[in-house]
Amino acid sequence: MIEYSEPKNIVIVLDISRSMLAEDIIPNRIESAKNTIHTFLTERKNDVIAFIAFAGKPFLISPFSDDYTGLAEIVKNMTPYFIRQENPGLSGTAIGDALLLANMTLSGRTGEKSIIFITDGRTNIGIDPYIAL
């Protein structure tokens, strides 16, 4: 008998601010986070996943998809240089803005909804994370 479960709607939110390059975790924070996301994706079977990357502003990198291989490739290639953080308003850690985008991405979806939020810091730009929650 084949067991079926309703797909879960999952938004993965990854901080790609420059501080994620710190090497206090081997090889560094961002690579460790990406490896964890990759492992998570390999364990999915029936879920749909959206991917958001953020620094001073959040960006929806992938809308909901069940193409785990494609999502893993996107995550593998993600670096702090994906967002041109030298430009005004794009550097920092906008946790509240990223949470708000994740909530908006989940808006209108039916079924179970989850946000997996990966960051190394505290918000220092954008809206208050408690308001976004």
Averaged pLDDT of the chain: 95
Q: Kindly state the average pLDDT of the residues 2-8.
A: 77
Any domain includes 2: no
pLDDT tens per residue across span 79-90: 999 999 999 989
Question: pLDDT digit string (tens) for 49-94?
Answer: 999 999 999 999 999 999 999 999 999 999 999 999 999 989 999 9
Q: Is the pTM of this model over 0.75?
A: yes
126 Cβ contact partners less than 8 Å away, ≥ 6 residues apart: 56, 57, 92, 94, 95, 96, 97
Domain tally for the chain? 1
- Asked, for residue 16, whether it belongs to a domain, the answer is yes
Cα separation of the two ends of the chain: 40
Q: Identify the band that residue 2 occupies on the pLDDT scale cut at 50, 70 and 90.
A: low
CATH code for the domain in which residue 116 is found: 3.40.50.410
3 in any annotated domain: no
Within a domain: 4? no
In a domain, 30, yes or no: yes
Q: Are 11 and 85 in contact (CB under 8 A)?
A: no
Query: Does residue 58 form part of some domain?
Result: yes
For residue 91, give its domain range: 9-132
DSSP string, 24-89: SSSS-HHHHHHHHHHHHHHT-SS-EEEEEEESSSEEEEEEEE--HHHHHHHHHT--GGGS-TTSTT
Model confidence at 1: pLDDT above 60: no
With respect to residue 1, please indicate whether it lies within any of the assigned structural domains: no
Banded pLDDT at 133 (limits 50, 70, 90): confident
